[in-house]
Amino acid sequence: MALYSCRLLTFAFLGWFLVKLTTAEFGEHSCFFAGALEPTQGGVEILIFFYADTRHTNTFFSSDIKKPGTGAGTRPTILSAEAVYCKALRPNFECFLGYDAAPMKVLGLETSCDETGVAVFDPDRGLLAQALHSQIDLHKIYGGVVPEIASRDHIRRLLPLIRKVLGDAGMERPDAVAYTAGPGLVGALMVGSGLANGLGLAWSCPVIPIHHMEGHLLAPMLEEDAPVYPFLALLVSGGHTLLVAVKGLGLYDVLGSTLDDAVGEAFDKTAKLLGLDYPGGPALAVLAENGDPQAYTFPRPMLKRPGLDFSFSGLKTAVMLQVKKSAEEGNTDRVRADIAASFQCAAIDTLVTRSIQAAKQTNLDRIVVAGGVGANLHLREQLAERFDGRVYYPRPEFCTDNGAMIAIAGALRLSDGSEPATIHATARWPLETLIPPGSANPA
Ligand code: KG4
Ligand code: ZN
């Protein structure tokens, strides 16, 4: 019998039946489990759970499975795959179920874009080890990420990085594997998904698909001074600009998002116009340090409109026109620095103004800032100056993509219930469709 994830059960009894029960809230409803077995098992005496996890322990023991025809309650012996192995070694071994209930050490894999990130997080001891390989040098000559090159490089890097990180953490295998299942470049995601699910099979351990943006918004939990729920999250990366009211794990209200370019994308495109290398965001921030932010008045699109959405394409066009004009007039280093500073000032002003509006509307006095643009120092200064509440950031290396945020997201989801809905790799995945661990996933 294969027990696959928590809400997708595939029952295969000696080739007799294949009953696929999706989205059952299995953990709490033992009678559902018993009822499902009743018509199919025909006097099963031993169940072997190939892919079990601890949170089903009560369920199994609280349900008596009726033998068809007799009406009598019988309780089959329940074994995990590990138990079968133990039984072979120790014939008197009676029953072993699932995994140790101790907090699970989670291996996290991030492969959604151009960074291969691997880490091990232990709920008791924190981050045990982590490693990151950036593909920037591979993509630089093309001026942006080339998806096929990204996927191939993840394939090359992932296993050696996993070996290194497990070695650094002093362990042979983790208790669970978490991986980024989306959103992102689908080929790159499939590398992480394929390997995570393969390792899960080889190690007989749970595999937890993680939403990339959930990883970002939980990254500040890696720090000693971690935020508590509820808080407002400003998620600012190369692919997303989101304002989210976070009430708890998996309880996300998206308050606003960008109608066109993400803010990181606007940084990257502006940097390209100014002749800076990919990825332009950090380089543009450095150039802006020597420029005058008041030199040009670029638009702050949407700020006068109601709602909490963003738009960065108008700002990008205004910068493009200015760059052309300045080129005709002789584009000096001074002018380039002024354009960079004025752009940065407009983009950050938009983010900060909207965040403060959102905090007021939701009555939240904590803001978590995460995603690559969260590393921007001007953003940090402005929030510190203009927002009355507290602002939380991950350390700079965990603002951009990394394995640690995926590992901690996996550990939090495991410790809080069970895995999210089964998903393998998906390029598009709205954050607000996530649910808290252990809660029912409507069919
Ligand atoms: O979260 P991330 O590493 O990857 C995505 O999920 O997209 O974010 C990368 C984005 C890029 O657009 C990069 O230019 C931007 O974050 N970024 C910055 C800074 N550091 C990274 N943007 C502005 N200032 C920075 N210091
Ligand atoms: Zn990211």
Residue to mutate (ligand 1; options 115, 185, 237, 312; most atoms within 8 A of CB): 237
Residue-level pLDDT at 301: 79
Cα of 294 vs centre of ligand 2, distance in Å, is 30
In this prediction, residues 198-210 reach a mean pLDDT of: 93
Task: Give per-residue pLDDT as tens, 288-298.
Answer: 999 999 999 99
Residue range 225-282, pLDDT digits in tens? 999 999 999 999 999 999 999 999 999 999 999 999 999 999 999 999 999 988 899 9
pLDDT above 80 (res 4): no
pLDDT given at position 77:
45
> What is the pLDDT of the chain when averaged over all its residues?
80
- Cα dist. 100→52, 91, 124, 132 in Å? 11, 21, 14, 30
Exposed, middle or buried by CB within 10 Å (0-12, 13-18, 19+), for 66? middle
pLDDT for residue 75: 41
Q: Residue type for 345, please?
A: C
Q: Which of 263, 373, 405 to mutate to test the pocket of ligand 1 (most atoms within 8 A of CB)?
A: 373
Distance 78 CA to ligand 2 centre (A): 42
pLDDT at residue 190 greater than cutoff 90:
yes
Question: Is the separation of the CB atoms in 208 and 6 below 8 Å?
Answer: no
Phi/psi class of residue 140: alpha, beta or left (left: φ > 0; alpha: ψ in -120 to 50)? Answer: alpha
Q: DSSP letters of 242-308? A: EEEEEEETTEEEEEEEBSSS-HHHHHHHHHHHTTPPSSHHHHHHHHHTTS-TTSS----TTTTSSSS
User: Is the pLDDT higher at 182 or at 61?
Assistant: 182
Q: How many angstroms separate the CA atoms of 252 and 239, rounded?
A: 18
Percent of the chain with pLDDT over 70: 74
* pLDDT tens-place string over residues 83-141: 443 344 334 433 333 334 457 899 999 999 999 999 999 999 999 999 999 998 899 88
The ligand 1 site (C-beta within 6 Å) comprises: 113, 237-239, 264, 267-268, 279-282, 285, 371-373, 375-376, 400-401
The conformational region for residue 72 under phi > 0 = left, psi -120 to 50 = alpha, else beta, is beta
Cα–Cα distance, 197 to 178 (Å, whole number)? 9
Which string of DSSP letters, residue by residue, matches 364-405?
Answer: --EEEEESGGGG-HHHHHHHHHH-SSEEE---GGGTSS-HHH
Domains of the chain: 8-89 (no CATH), 106-221+400-433 (3.30.420.40), 229-393 (3.30.420.40)
Structure-token pair, residue 140: 């630089």
Q: In this predicted structure, what is the pLDDT of residue 408?
A: 97
Q: Relative to the alpha carbon of 236, which ligand is closest?
A: 1
Establish how many alpha carbons lie within 13 A of residue 240's alpha carbon, considering only the half-sphere containing its beta carbon: 31
**Distance in Å, CA 214 to ligand 1 centroid:** 16
Residue 399 has pLDDT above 90, yes or no: yes
Whether the Cβ atoms of residue 418 and residue 9 lie closer than 8 Å to each other: no
CA gap 19, 12 in Å, rounded? 7
pLDDT at residue 440, as a whole number: 57
Q: Ligand 1 test: best mutation among 400, 406, 428, most atoms within 8 Å of CB?
A: 400
Tell me the average pLDDT across 201-228.
94
Is the pLDDT assigned to residue 78 strictly greater than 90? no
Bond before 160 cis per omega within 30 degrees = no
